[in-house]
Each structure stands twice: as structure tokens, then as C-alpha cells.
Structure 1
Amino acid sequence: MVTSSPSKIVFDSADIAFQLKNGRKLVDDMSVAYILPSDSTEVERLRLNHDLWKMVLEGLFKSPLHESLKKGITVLDVGCGPGFWTKDMAILYPNSKFIGIDMADVFVREDLPPNAEFHIVNAANGLPFHDESFDFVFQRFLVMGFPTDKYIQSIKEIKRVLKTDGAIEILELVNDYIDPSPALAKISSWIDKALSARNMDSYIGDKISTFLQDAGFQDIRDIKYNVPIGWGGVAGELYLSIQQLALPAVGVMVTQLTSVKDEEYEETTKEALAGAKVFKSTTRFRLIYAKK
């Protein structure tokens, strides 16, 4: 067992190339599966998404770790994006140490507390930390970031870097709308085709509990959420604003990996956003937490 502090690890800079396509900054590296943009517009979407989930969860996490976090533990945020969750957690729990990793440097460093740090890491290639380094590992929304085999490997890597009795928590979107309009259903099918082209799984969120069980995790809890798009109160209105940013971002992926043309996607997106409130559409999510 290695007991070195995670912060003493030497990180290699992720040498990932980017390109501009339709005004969006995209990864230009076939060894990297992530196919959503990495730019300021995407950062704004992720900020709104973070605000939404603080509202839906009535907090930042569901694992029973409040008292441990108050006393002081070490936490890893995998695929942290800008790092809104990492930063908020570090402010809330000043005695704990937080490390956020992502393949792109879009980190929010302004007013970052001293107990938080960010590093550029492509988690699909493994986690550059010693065994049993963390008490809590958090991961969310990597359905469009990891092929299925990498997703399963990520769970195994998380188990490796977790201490005995450490906790894992994964929040994931399922590419599945309840009561969709015809336009929204069409977009969902296009997204599924685009993900399949990169060996990704639209429904991987429904399989995470099984992955955790296969990896040997214990006390698995699986919570289902259906988030309304444009109706049902403040959360629904906020989620509609997120979808107004998310669907164009996903469109870059769809038009790159399927036969759908830009104009067709844009027109269908307008119809989908206009109809979501009328059809009372919702998106499915799964939050799963467990113990090593």
C-alpha cells in the first residue's frame, strides 16, 4: 500500500490538440473520446448545470460523508470540467482536500480556496495517483466522454485509488427523454447514433450499478431523477436554458459523426426546444453511490 499524498504526484501535461469547427473548440485527437466542445460557451452551460443539480439534490452530493468532510478527508473530482463542484465543496469543507482533474484547462481559478487544486489529466488513460489515495471520488456526466470499456475501466481505477471504506458517487445523464416531442425523439436517436459511432452507450447510466457490483463495491444506492424541460417550476426553466446551450453543443458531435446536416439539426433543435414544454418532456438521470 502506497501512502503518498496525491498532491505530491508529478502530473504530465495532457498534450491534446484542439480545432475550431462551426465556431466551437473541439478535441482534434482520435485517441481522445470526448466529443463535446471545450470553450467559454460550454463553461457557461456547465455552470448552469452545476446550479441545477445543487437545486435538484438540495446540496452537492448524496453520499453520507458530511461529518467526515467536516473533519477532513481527501477528495477527487474526475472529469471536473471548470471545477464548480470542486470549488464549492472546498469552500464548504475547508478541512478537506479537493483535487479536480480534466483533459482541458477550463478551470475556474478565481477565488479558489487553498484546499483545492486542478490538474490537466485525461482520465480515460487512467488515474495518476497512488493506490488508496482518496476517501471520496466523485464523477458526473461522462456518458459523452468515455467509450463503454473506458467507463468500466474508470470505475476500476476509482476503486484502486480509493481507501478501504472510501466512497464513490457517479451522477449520469441517460440519453432518454420521457414524453418527447417528435423533434426531441429524433434528436435523441441522432445522439444515440453519434455515440455508437464512438463506442459510447446512451444508456450507460442505467448500467453503472451493475458495473459497481462487478467491481466489488458495497452498499450500492441508485437514485432515479426525471428533470422537466421548461416546465414544473424553477428547475424546469433552468434546465430549458441548459438545453438551449446543450443541444447546439451536441449538434457539433451529431453532424460530425452521422449523416445529419447542420441545417436539419438546427431546425429540429428549434422545434424540440419549442415543444418540450408543450409535451411536458423530461430527461432521465441516475445518481449512484457506494462504498469500497
Structure 2
Amino acid sequence: MQNSTDKNVTFIGCDIYQTLPFPDNEFDYVFSRNKTDLFSKNNFQGFLFEIIRVLKPEGWLEIVHSLRTDDYTGQASARLNAAITSWHKERGIDFDIIRNLEDYFKMSGKLEFISSQIIKIPIGGDNFGEFSYEVALYYIKLMKEILVPFMGISSEEYDQLSKENEDEMKKKRGELYGRQKRVFARKK
């Protein structure tokens, strides 16, 4: 357990594939960001039931996830995105989970007032766009350890591909957008 500098916040690490270390009906609000691409459909349903379990009646659940896009900036970007998608599919991870998240909420039978929105996020440009641009580049760097062996390329080749991707993104800076889907619901 690690405490933050804020006395009202405590960070607790746990394995999200297991039972969460909290009693039933513990939290007023549960938030999850970019976790849906860690689960197969069966594992995701277990995760969803578990986060609903720890949510108090009339508590709110919010799940946010970036949507995959085919709106690539160039050849390097398309190659990296294809590899990321293939890697996930080989592991049984289904990107349709986030697209159909409202259906999963309904199927639980435990949630009401289900709503969603898709948010367009600038990648590059000023302010938040610059932040999201840096996040996108960092994500590609984080995937290196996974994608080098998966793609059957050397570390140096991956670095070159990442650099080409960055150059492609720079050319379209301020013109690129990502999308995030946010789904909200209240526990009955």
C-alpha cells in the first residue's frame, strides 16, 4: 500500500484478474481507464462483475477507453497499429468490448441510467493536444518490448520504425485526432 501526499487518497495494488481486495458495496464511484484491452470477453465479464460488486447501490461506474482507429498517418503508423491489433487478437483480446460496452452493462442486470459519449481528442497542436501527442509516442515506446519479438524485427529496426512514425505524426501535427469512449452507469 502506498499513500499519496493527499491524506484522502491511498493507492492499493492488486491483480485485476482476481477478486478485488474490498468488501461488497464499498465505493461510491469506480473508474477504469484503458483496461478493456487487457481482457478476453470472458475475463472482462468477470472484471465487470467484480467492479460492480465493490460499488455501492446507487454508486456510479465510469469506464473510459481509447478507440482503435484506421485513420493512420503513414506507412510506419499503419504497420505499428497492425502489429498492435494482431498481438491483441492472438491473445483473445477483443476490441469490440469497448464498442459494445453498453450491452455488457445491460447484460449485468445490475446497472441503470446507462449512457455513453465519444470524445474527440486532438493529437498534437497546443495544450492538451501536445500532451496527447506525447502520450501516443510514449505508448509506442512502451510496446517495444512486446512488439520486437512479435514482429520478428530487431530492436534497432523497431527504433527506426518508431522514429518514422513520429516523423509522420509531426507532419500532421494539429490535424490528428484520437477518440475515447466513456460509458457511465449507476448501480441499482
Interval of TM-score (by shorter of Structure 1 and Structure 2): 0.7 to 0.9
Specify whether residues 175 and 256 from structure 1 end up closer, same or farther in structure 2 by C-alpha distance, changes over 3 A only: farther
CA contact (8 A) 1:133 1:161 kept: yes
- Report 1:12-23 matches (<5 A): none
Cα 1:123–1:131 change in 2 (3 A) is same
Deviation at 1:278, TM superposition (A): 2.7
Distance in 2 (CA, whole Å) between partners of 1:203 and 1:225 is: 17
- Matched residue, 1:255: 148
**Residue-by-residue CA offset, 1:120-147 (whole Å, 9 max, x unaligned):** 2101112122222222111111144333
* Equivalent position amino acid for 1:133 in 2: E
Whether 1:129 aligns to 2:22 is yes
Match of 2:116 among 212, 222, 225: 222
In 2, the alpha carbon distance for the partners of 1:117 and 1:158 equals: 18
Using the TM superposition, give the Cα deviation of residue 168 of structure 1 relative to its aligned residue in structure 2, in angstroms. Answer: 0.3
CA contact (8 A) 2:4 2:11 kept: no
Indicate the residue corresponding to 1:209 in structure 2: 102
Amino acid at match of 2:141: P
Q: 2:178 is matched with which residue: 272, 277, 283?
A: 283
Paired with 1:223 and 1:199, the residues of 2 have a C-alpha distance of 26
Match of 1:236 among 110, 123, 129: 129
Give the direction of change, closer, same or farther, for the CA distance of 1:268–1:204 in structure 2 (3 Å limit): farther
Query: The residue matched to 1:127 in structure 2 has which SS?
Result: coil
Sequence identity (%): 23
Aligned length, in residue pairs:
184
In structure 1, the gaps of 5 or more residues are: 1-104
Q: Per-residue deviation at 1:247?
A: 0.7
State yes or no: 1:164 paired with 2:48: no
Distance in 1 between the 2:119 and 2:143 partners? 21
What is the 5 A alignment of 1:1-292? 109-111=3-5, 113-216=6-109, 217-231=111-125, 233-279=126-172, 280-292=175-187
Amino acid at match of 2:178: T
Indicate the RMSD between aligned Cα atoms, in angstroms: 2.1
Q: Give 1:262 deviation, angstroms.
A: 2.6
Post-superposition shift, 1:203? Answer: 4.4
Highest RCO, 1 vs 2 (Cα 8 Å, sep ≥ 6): 2
SS of 1:124's equivalent? coil
| In structure 1, C-alpha distance between the alignment counterparts of 2:41 and 2:108, rounded to whole Å | 15
Moved more, 252-261 or 131-140: 252-261
1:175 partner SS: coil
Query: Structure 1 residue 110: deviation in Å?
Result: 4.8
Query: C-alpha separation between the residues in 2 aligned to 1:255 and 1:264?
Result: 8
Instruction: Please say if residues 170 and 287 of structure 1, whose CA atoms lie closer than 8 Å, have aligned partners that are also in contact.
Output: yes
Q: Could you state the TM-score of these two structures normalised by the residue count of structure 2?
A: 0.85
CA deviation profile, 1:247-274 (whole Å, cap 9, x unmatched): 1101222224443443332222111111
Task: Give, in whole Å, the separation in 2 of the partners of 1:265 and 1:143.
Answer: 26
